[in-house]
Chain A
Amino acid sequence: AQSVTQPDIHITVSEGASLELRCNYSYGATPYLFWYVQSPGQGLQLLLKYFSGDTLVQGIKGFEAEFKRSQSSFNLRKPSVHWSDAAEYFCAVGATDKLIFGTGTRLQVFP
């Protein structure tokens, strides 16, 4: 079955520290992979997406993600976190007719 797993429900980092949010997927074919961010009370904003080609994908707000087929992973990274990055982050895989989302990782940033 197609699924997305985000093993970390809640992550806390200090401002300026590096960040890695984990995402593992289960999908039979070559996946379309996405990371979205949701601020409190807001909609979902696309950070980046992977369809094919270079496995290191650059996104908005200084985020990047690396697709590793052998590990079925698509982890999100940022070298230096800002307080404004505090939000909920969702990894998703694009199936034939919908997006399948993980359960999300809530990021808290301490000054």
Chain B
Amino acid sequence: DSGVTQTPKHLITATGQRVTLRCSPRSGDLSVYWYQQSLDQGLQFLIQYYNGEERAKGNILERFSAQQFPDLHSELNLSSLELGDSALYFCASSVAIQGSGYTFGSGTRLTVV
């Protein structure tokens, strides 16, 4: 157990639908990062939050959004889902903005049918 908790572990949904992925960071970590892992794109950085504020954006689609709540858990919202959104979505946490140590959760496998 890495200390980073992601739910659900698996999600199957239809095209056009909306889903929410949840991440609880390791205790004491203020930064949360979201990554997407797909066969064709590899591991792609989506977005970072630090202590409730968005700090950096990567290759995140406009159909996707995220937020970090006061208790530091984060949610990644994916809407108008397409087949190509099927991927593993990872959350990672670190203490600082520039993470000297990143701890990853076990991921949420999203399948869009």
Contacts and interface: CB of A to CB of B under 8 A. Distances in A.
Interface of A: 32, 34, 36, 41-46, 49, 51, 90, 94-101, 103-104
Contacts, number: 56
A69 B106 CA distance: 32
Interface stretch (B13-21, B41-49, B62-70, B75-83): B41-49
Contact of A49 (B48, B56, B101): B101
Given A43-B90, A97-B55, A51 B100 contact: yes
A103 B103 CA distance: 19
21 contacts: A34-B102, A43-B90, A43-B105, A43-B106, A43-B107, A44-B90, A46-B101, A46-B103, A90-B43, A94-B98, A96-B56, A96-B97, A97-B55, A97-B56, A98-B45, A98-B56, A99-B33, A99-B45, A99-B99, A99-B102, A100-B45
A95 to B, nearest CB: 8
Q: Chain B contact residues: over half helix, strand or loop, or mixed?
A: strand
A10 to B, nearest CB: 14
Contacts of A95: 98
Interface of B: 2, 33, 35, 42-43, 45, 48, 55-56, 58, 90, 92, 97-107, 109
Contacts of B33: 98-99
Nearest to A44: B104
Contacts of B45: 98-100
B104 A96 contact: no
Nearest to A95: B98
Contacts of B43: 90, 101, 104
A105 to B, nearest CB: 12
Given A43-B2, A97-B48, A103 B101 contact: no
